[in-house]
A = this chain, B = another copy of it.
Amino acid sequence: MHLPNIPDIVVQRLPLYLRILTILREQGQTITSSQELGTRLDISPAQIRKDLSYFGEFGKQGMGYEIEFLISQLKRILQVNRKWNIAIVGAGALGYALVSHFGFEQWNFHITAVFDKDPQRIGQRLGNLTVLDVTKLAEVILEKNIQFGIIAVPTKEAQGVAEQLVTAGVRAILNYAPVSLKIPKHVHCHSMDPVALLQSMAYYQETQDA
């Protein structure tokens, strides 16, 4: 069970801490400090100490943090020390990038099923999965105990797919379509929209060379 009253923004930084700690461990390091983490992440050391203090006491004053211990604690807090099952809807180029590029498995996110509505794609291999007919979505999500959905379909289909995922019992959605989904409050949802981020970065550009 998660703790109440932790700001979302704090929860969203915990994976960044876990990620850099994992990199430091891979480099053979065993101890770190809020200063080092801060430099690596461009977050103030005070912010890092405050974020972690919501969840307990993980370092000793003047001694820093034991990397292995803090990794295990962050995994416990984030509930990623257990396996989560994921369904991807959309078996096009983006679906293929999702199953092959990001290494979800090494983070305990198991891509359990990939769906598409296109008869040309259904039955084909995508990575080590066979693309399933999206009409089977509810059945497969129940059967395989899938908790997370990733939407990788064209924009116009995204809302319909989101509703199917929610009806099927999925409790968190990562949405790659550039549209705000209407879904119940109890289902968590994050958007991944590269165009929106490029646009917000365009705002800051000097344009004397335009």
Residues of A participating in the B interface, judged by any CB pair closer than 8 Å: 1-2, 8, 11-12, 14-16, 18-20, 23, 40-42, 77-80, 82, 84, 86, 92-94, 96-98, 100-104, 107, 109, 145, 147-148, 150, 152, 171-172, 174, 178-180, 182, 188, 190, 192-207, 209-210
The reply to whether B78 and A200 contact each other, CB–CB distance below 8 Å, is yes
Closest Cβ of chain B to A165, distance in Å, is: 13
The reply to whether B102 and A195 contact each other, CB–CB distance below 8 Å, is yes
A93 and B84 contact, Cβ closer than 8 Å, known pairs A198-B109, A201-B148, A204-B188? no
Integer count of this chain's copies in the complex: 2
Q: Bound complex: CA of A188 vs CA of B16, how far in Å? A: 18
Closest Cβ of chain B to A146, distance in Å, is: 11
4 residue pairs, one from A and one from B, having the closest CB atoms: A15-B196, A97-B97, A172-B201, A15-B199
User: A102: nearest residue on chain B (CB-CB)?
Assistant: B194
The reply to whether B84 and A92 contact each other, CB–CB distance below 8 Å, is no
Q: A79-B203, A102-B178 are in contact. List 4 more A-B contacts (CB 8 A).
A: A11-B200, A15-B195, A18-B199, A79-B202
The reply to whether A197 and B180 contact each other, CB–CB distance below 8 Å, is no
The reply to whether A20 and B200 contact each other, CB–CB distance below 8 Å, is no
